[in-house]
Structure 1
Amino acid sequence: MTITFSDEQNQIEVTDKISAAIRAALEAAQAELGVPACLNLLFTDNEGIRELNREFRNIDRATDVLSFPAYELPALLTECFDEIEAEYVEGELFLGDIAISMERAQAQAAEYGHSLIREAAFLALHGTLHLMGYDHMTSGEEAVMTKKQEALLQSVNIGREMDGI
């Protein structure tokens, strides 16, 4: 998976370990897609994500992750490739954009008792699943999405064993 990383915050260092964990998690998600894919990932702070949330969702508060899908898709994206006019970038399906508040990620990692690496990978994967059509508006959708997130994180060894890194 091609991930275009942008870092527009300067409070929390996005280390090579964080980038590698994110890449591993998103490549696992791409394997489920069955096609080469790409996306843009922005690291920002609470104020930056608050501005995005206000501008695009009319919600004037910070959040941890925002996804901006390129398409309105049902889960299991591969079932509808023929029904959408997909955008490809150098042969890869463009999924959309994700923004992560690293400030919020760091606070949540501390709150949940695990590493910033795990939290950043979890948030990036969560955003990617949204780009792939998954959602959590109902308890059923949330159960499916949560199970998928945890399975993908575990498949690339980004789980509780990373705590303390």
Structure 2
Amino acid sequence: MEQKMTITFSDEQDKIEVTDKISAAICAALDAAQAELGVPACLNLLFTDSEGIRELNREFRGIDQATDVLSFPAYELSTPLAECLDEVEAEYVEGELFLGDIAISMERAQEQAEEYGHGLVRETAFLALHGTLHLVGYDHMTPEEEKIMTQKQEALLQSVNIGREMDGI
């Protein structure tokens, strides 16, 4: 039986409904990431609004502005976690590797979905996957890193049929 990513969802905003379709798309995308990691894993995912994510960004990164997604990895990694798992002092929760926390601004997700011409379901799944890739050691600080991360995101989204034009699941 295929292992599923355990996601603890928290919704601390009331501006945009987090529908079952959004949750299902996020689960599908993160299950694909889980399969690549190769070990049972879990993370926490917070839905917030623009002000909530701005506060988190200010508190933890010293940047006083809203953003779309923030990741708080459980580990400092120089290579993807799948490549260095044996070298990490891993934290396990009920037998699953704890990856960290992600916060998504639903307001920014809605704005970006409209800007990019696809649905909120696709955008939210993309942001959750983007955040998860940060948790497992991917980054986009250099053009090469960005290329690798972008290719990984798109391949994982496509593997679970979450395409650019997706309006539902």
Q: Same fold (TM over 0.5)?
A: yes
Aligned pairs, how many? 165
Q: Show CA shifts across 1:33-66 (max 9, x none).
A: 0001000000000000000000000000000000
Q: Which runs of 5+ in 2 are unaligned?
A: none
Superposed, which structure 2 residues align to 1:82-97 within 5 Å?
A: 82-97=86-101
Note the C-alpha offset of 1:116.
0.0
SS in 2 for 1:153: helix
Backbone CA RMSD of aligned residues: 1.1
TM-score (structure 1 length as normaliser) = 0.97
What SS is found at the alignment partner of 2:89?
coil
Aligned partner of 1:58 in structure 2 is 62
Quote the Cα distance in structure 1 between the aligned partners of 2:47 and 2:163: 21
Counterpart in the other structure of 2:33: 29
Structure 1 gap ranges (5+): none
Cα distance in 1 between the residues matched to 2:79 and 2:116: 28
Question: What's the CA shift for 1:29?
Answer: 0.3
Distance 1:125 1:78 in 2: 16
Matches within 5 A, 1:48-127: 48-127=52-131
CA distance in 2, matches of 1:137, 1:144: 11
Shift of 1:121: 0.1
Q: Are residue 44 (structure 1) and residue 53 (structure 2) matched?
A: no
Aligned-residue sequence identity (percent) comes to 85
Runs of 4 or more off by more than 6 Å in structure 1?
Answer: none
